[in-house]
Amino acid sequence: VQASADGAARRRWWTIAAVVAVLLIANALVAWNLLATHGATANAEAAQSQTATTLATRRGDLANLRHKQAQATSTLNNKTNERNNLTAREKAAKARTGARKAAIAKAFAQINATHGHMISLHECLLKVQAALNTLGGGDLTNGSIALADVQRLCEAT
Amino acid sequence: MKRRAVVVIVVAGLLVGAGEAAFATNLAHAHQTETARERTLADTRDKLTDVNATITNEQRDYDRTLRDIKTRTGQVDAARTKLAGTEGTLASVTQNLNSATTAENEAAANADKLSKCVNGAKLATAERKNGNTSGAIATLRVVQPICASLPTNGDTDPFVFPFDFADPSVLRVGGTYYAYSTNSAIGNMPVISSTDLHHWNIVGDALPQVPSWALSGGTWAPTVIALGGRYVAYYTVRRASDWDGCISVATSGSPTGPFVDSSSSPLECQPELGGSIDPEPFVDGSGTPWLIWKSQGGKLMPATIWSHQLSADGMSFAALTNASALISADRGWEGGTVEAPDLVAVNGELVLFYSGNNWSSSSYALGAAICSAPSGPCIKTGGPVYTSHALIAGPGSAGFFTTSGGGLAMVYDAYHAPNVGYPASRYLYVAGVHVSGSSISFG
């Protein structure tokens, strides 16, 4: 009976030892898993921090780019307006030039016409003076004929 | 003993159980935290990816905008250059238009003046034809400034009076010049006046009546001098009995007349020599008056210039004196004619100026001779000293006088080329005269 009791006690201790060993192994595994999880979390936080910094920088870059784009767009609009304004002014100046060239041509045509008229008038004046000289010299006959010719020839003037 | 072991085992089991439960909770929490961190990281990376994509797109837009700006800047520069060119052209065209408009207005104004000049001359001619000499003179007086203001069209030596004014002479009284000419529409002895020798005004007819022995309408080449407190005019007039050209004399208290000729016969006529014309008085250094004139020339002798001393009052030739022939037409350029003499004392020389050749042609010109005394002898200087040039055709019939500035000058007549020959007008010209020894120049 004593031996049987000793054997039973020994088996109980082995059972307890086995349970304790199993618990130790299981806890070691859990501890390892916990450490691994903490490491992964730490890595994720570090990556998150770096990525967030990069994101912030890039957002700054984007804001800066948008500011420059706004300025460039404004510049482009100004340039476009300036070009359109210059083009319009050039077109208007060209139109005025054309109108003035036409006016010059008209003035020269009028001058030519006037000069032509003046040549006729001058010819007439010479004839009138010749008639006047003839009459002034006492030659009434030829002077009267000359005056009649003058009246006829110079009628148009 | 057994009970105590069981209790120990139970207590140990409870403790181990509690520890394991806490351990498990901790592990679960760690897993949750790690999962959350991973999700956040993934989210942040997504955002970063979006931002990068946006930056890439917007950078492309920005680059395109910069290229557009560069293109637009080029367009602005080109437009500015084009505008500058067009505005330069516009300025030039505007200047041309202003010039053309000015020229147009000037041409219109000149045409208007010329038209008024023509109409005035027409009216004067008609009045003259109808015997209304005073009306013709009044009309010419009104229209003369208009005619005189007409442009000379590049004529650098223009005439100074716009109507016929042949065989001119000048008398200066103080600062006023009086010019006289052969008969014209203005009358027997037209007289005009000026204070600057360039702008002249019609005064009228200084000799309204010719003497009873003479014909009107043929009074030529008058010259007036101040002598004995009055003005004495010598002129050519046709004698009614034979139409010969003769010289007569008239007097007036005014240089503008009216001059009165109360003679009953000519002062000189020389019918055997074709008549006497172109009288020109000359007062020598001692105050003695002389008369210089031309005989027309005929079978007995060629055209000749004569000199004869006058009485102190200038109304007749001095007693016991004779006429002297100074020069005759003997040079080729003279074409058989010497006439319109004028004796001038200048720089110790006595210079006889005369005209040669046909007065109704452009060959008419001025010659000169140096005389020892008013009665001669005279030696011609050579060829003509003043001939046709530019638009001045056939200059001659010169009258010499001293200006108010003390210089020697002459008036002469000439046709205005190309209108040469009677009945075209012989216009009045003025020129300075410079004599140095036998060297004579004009201008």
Query: What does the pLDDT look like over B360-399, one tens digit per residue?
Result: 999 999 999 999 999 999 999 989 999 999 999 999 999 9
- Give the closest-approach CA distance of B316 to chain A in angstroms: 28
Burial of B287 (0-12, 13-18, 19+ CB in 10 A): exposed
User: How many Å lie between the alpha carbon of A7 and the closest alpha carbon of chain B?
Assistant: 15
pLDDT for the residue A83: 97
Residues B118, A125: C-beta atoms closer than 8 Å: yes
**Per-residue pLDDT band at A112 (split at 50, 70, 90):** very high
Of B413, B408, B415, B416, the closest CA to residue B432 belongs to B408
Greater pLDDT, B323 or B21: B323
Q: What is the pLDDT of residue A157?
A: 58
Cβ separation A86–B76 shorter than 8 A = yes
Task: State pLDDT tens for residues B405-419.
Answer: 999 999 999 999 999
Q: What is the pLDDT of residue B41?
A: 94
Cβ–Cβ < 8 Å for B274, B297: yes
- β-sheet with B365-371: strand ranges across: B338-346, B349-356, B365-371, B378-380
User: Hey, are the CB atoms on A65 and B87 less than 8 Å from each other?
Assistant: no
Q: What is the mean pLDDT of residues A15-24?
A: 89
Mean pLDDT of the B110-125 span = 93
Per the CB < 8 Å rule, is B51 touching A59? yes
Residue whose C-alpha is closest to residue B251's, from B276, B281, B287: B281
- Looking at residue B334, its pLDDT comes to 96
Q: What is the mean pLDDT of chain A?
A: 91
Q: Which of A73, A133, A144 is best to mutate for the B interface (most B CBs within 10 A)? A: A133
For B437, left (φ over 0), alpha (ψ -120 to 50), or beta? left
- Is the pLDDT confidence value at A39 over 80? yes
Q: What is the mean pLDDT of residues B85-99?
A: 96
Give B-chain residues touching A11 at CB under 8 angstroms.
none
Contacts of B51 in chain A (CB under 8 A): 55, 58-59, 62
Q: Distance between CA atoms of B348 and B435, rounded to whole angstroms? A: 10
CB B416 within 8 A of CB B159: yes
Say which of A51, A61, A129 has its CB closest to residue B164: A129
pLDDT digits (tens, 9 = 90+) for B205-232: 999 999 999 998 889 999 999 999 999 9
Among A74, A106, A132, the residue to mutate for chain B (most B Cβ within 10 A): A132
Q: Give chain B's end-to-end CA distance (angstroms, integer).
A: 169
The least confident of B126-130, B253-257, B303-307, B404-408 is B126-130
Average model confidence (pLDDT) across chain B: 94
A21: Cα within 13 Å, side-chain hemisphere: 6
Cis before residue B168, ω within 30 degrees of 0? no
Task: Measure B306 CA to nearest chain A CA, in Å.
Answer: 26
A123 close contact with B: CB closer than 8 A: no
* Cα B11 to Cα B310: distance, rounded to the nearest angstrom: 185
Please say if the pLDDT value at position B340 is more than 90: yes
Residue A156 has pLDDT above 70, yes or no: no
In the chain, the amino acid numbered A136 is G
Nearest to B279 by CA among B288, B268, B289: B268
Which of B123, B181, B72, B74 has the alpha carbon at shortest distance from B426?
B181
Q: pLDDT tens-digit profile of A116-125?
A: 999 999 999 9
Closest of B257, B398, B241, B376 to residue B308, by C-alpha: B376
**Average pLDDT, integer, range B24-43:** 92
Question: A11 at the B interface (CB within 8 A)?
Answer: no
Pairs of residues, one from chain A and one from chain B, whose beta carbons lie less than 8 Å apart: 228
CA distance A37 to chain B (A): 6
- Region B169-196: mean pLDDT is 96
Q: Is the pLDDT of residue B2 over 80?
A: no
Residue B433 confidence (pLDDT) above 70: yes
| pLDDT value at B327 more than 70 | yes
User: Mean pLDDT across the stretch A44-72?
Assistant: 96
Structure confidence at residue B226 (pLDDT): 97
> Among B229, B237, B248, B233, which Cα is nearest to B171's?
B233
Nearest to B129 by CA among B185, B203, B210: B185
Structure tokens at A86: 């210059």
H helix runs in B130-167, sequence order: 133-148
B355, two tokens: 């005209």
Which positions in chain A touch B82 (Cβ < 8 Å)? 86, 90
Q: What DSSP letter does each residue of B341-363 carry, written as one string?
A: EEEEEETTEEEEEEEES-TTSTT
pTM over 0.80? The answer is no
- pLDDT-above-70 percentage for chain A: 99
Token output for B236: 């050519």
Say yes or no for a CB contact (<8 Å) between B34 and A44: yes
User: Which of B87-96, B154-163, B164-173, B331-340 is least confident?
Assistant: B154-163
